[in-house]
Structure 1
Amino acid sequence: MFNEKFEAWILGPVLRRVYLHTRDFGLNFSYVLSTKVITENNAIKNISVDKKIISDLTDQEIINVIDKTWEQYGNMSPRDLVDESHKTSPWIKARNGIQENEPSDNQISLV
């Protein structure tokens, strides 16, 4: 579903690209970015770039994973989700030797 690996951040697994996007743009994953650029001869030029951050949520496989995950974890508190993610073997391996409150960008391996 994702090309990059999750990172073992303090509170749980994070896809950096998705985190940065939601921090800046919320949950809108398909948008057009319009911006002004100054060219070499100091002219101002408008450009539009179509951005696609993650796969469309029309893929039935992705929808099924989201639905199943929501059924299993949707009623848990944020603290419970943190605790649950910290129990998994991939999380423990990625955080090995790192203090609980120490930032990390170690990748979580599922193999």
Structure 2
Amino acid sequence: MATVFDVAKYILEKMDRPVSTMKLEKLVYYSQAWSLVWDEAPLFEEHIEAWANGPVVPALYDVHRGRYNVDTKFFKRADTLNLTDLQKDTINRVVDFYGGKSAQWLSDLTHQETPWLEARQGIPDGERGNSEITLASMAEYYGSL
């Protein structure tokens, strides 16, 4: 199975320019969400948490922590060959739709959607939380759209 790093590198290749880490986190999130709906399978195993600025994959965050922008060179150990053609097609569609949006726009969008809202229940606004956004909640919500 591909890793979140393989997905991140592929997104960066598709974007063909440095991307803010906040935007990358949201594009990875939406890639996972739509893979669950369209392909009926997750893209990667790493879990996603509902942080104050939207969904974050802690394993990915740990690698880019302290950086504002990243590009393909940043994920040297990632291998996009681990992605199937179907997975690449899903990511391409996500990047085509969401890739032109700003990081803040994407963050704001996630704040209106059920998976993030449910995972944030009981956590005050602006406070970092580590509640997991489950694959089931993502599949159910995005599958209903």
Measured against the shorter chain, the TM-score band is 0.5 to 0.7
Matched, 1:22 2:71: no
TM-score, normalisation: structure 1: 0.67
> Paired residue for 2:80, among 57, 78, 81?
57
Aligned residues: CA RMSD: 2.1
Percent sequence identity is 32
Matched, 1:89 2:114: yes
Distance in 2 (CA, whole Å) between partners of 1:4 and 1:82 is 20
Distance in 2 (CA, whole Å) between partners of 1:9 and 1:20 is 14
Per the alignment, do residues 21 and 62 of structure 1 end up closer, same or farther by CA in structure 2, a change over 3 Å counting? Answer: farther
| SS of residue in 2 equivalent to 1:13 | strand
Cα deviation 1:5-43 (Å, max 9, x = unaligned): 200011111111111113379543344xxxxxxxxxxxx
Matched, 1:109 2:129: no
Decide whether the 8 Å contact of 1:90 with 1:110 is kept in 2. Answer: no
Give the structure 2 partner of residue 75 of structure 1.
100
- Report the structure, 1 or 2, having the larger helix content: 2
**Larger Cα-atom Rg:** 1
TM-score, normalisation: structure 2: 0.53
- Count matched residues: 88
Cα deviation 1:31-90 (Å, max 9, x = unaligned): 4xxxxxxxxxxxxxxxxxxxxxx6x32222332222111111111111111111112111
- Report the structure, 1 or 2, having the larger strand content: 1
Per the alignment, do residues 87 and 110 of structure 1 end up closer, same or farther by CA in structure 2, a change over 3 Å counting? Answer: farther
Distance in 2 (CA, whole Å) between partners of 1:89 and 1:110 is 12
Gaps of 5+ in 2: 1-42, 137-145
| SS of residue in 1 equivalent to 2:55 | strand
| SS of residue in 2 equivalent to 1:2 | coil
Gaps of 5+ in 1: 32-53
